Amino acid sequence: MKLYGFPMSPNSRRVQLTLEEIEEPYEYVTVDLTKGEHKQAEYLALNPFGRVPTLVDGGYVLWESHAILQYLAAKYPEKGLDGGNPHEKGEIAKWLFANAAHFGPAAARVFAHTIRLPEEQRMPRVAEEGRAEVTKVLGVLEEALKGKEWLVSARLTLADIAFTPTLAFAPMLGFDLSQYPHLSAWLDRIRDRPSYKKIYG
Ligand X SMILES: N[C@@H](CCC(=O)N[C@@H](CS)C(=O)NCC(=O)O)C(=O)O
Q: Nearest CA to 46 among 68, 38, 26, 36?
A: 38
* Part in contact with ligand X (CB under 6 A); list of ranges 58-66, 114-122, 146-154, 177-185: 58-66
Contact 177, 184 (CB under 8 A): yes
Taking the C-alpha atoms of residue 156 and residue 145, their distance in angstroms, rounded to an integer, is 13
Instruction: Work out how close the CB of 126 gets to ligand X at its nearest, in angstroms, rounded to a whole number.
Output: 16
Using CB under 6 A as the binding rule, whether residue 51 contacts ligand X is answered as yes
* Part in contact with ligand X (CB under 6 A); list of ranges 9-17, 69-77, 81-89, 139-147: 9-17
Among 1, 3, 9, 81, binds ligand X (CB under 6 A): 9
Phi first, then psi, for residue 59 (nearest 5°) are -95, 5
Among 10, 73, 91, 157, binds ligand X (CB under 6 A): 10
Cα 121–chain centre separation: 26
CB atoms within 10 A of CB 1: 18
Cα 5–chain centre separation: 12
Kindly state the DSSP code that residue 101 receives in the 8-state scheme.
I
Instruction: Work out how close the CB of 68 gets to ligand X at its nearest, in angstroms, rounded to a whole number.
Output: 8
Instruction: Work out how close the CB of 58 gets to ligand X at its nearest, in angstroms, rounded to a whole number.
Output: 20
Burial group, residue 83, by CB count within 10 angstroms (0-12, 13-18, 19+): buried
Closer residue to ligand X, CB minimum distance, 66 or 109: 66
User: Which residues make beta-bridge pairs with 57?
Assistant: 60
Q: How many residues sit close enough to ligand X to count as binding (CB under 6 A)?
A: 12
Site string for ligand X, 29-48 (x = CB under 6 A): ----x----x----------
Instruction: Work out how close the CB of 182 gets to ligand X at its nearest, in angstroms, rounded to a whole number.
Output: 26
Residues of this chain that interact with ligand X (CB under 6 A) are: 9-11, 33, 38, 50-53, 64-66
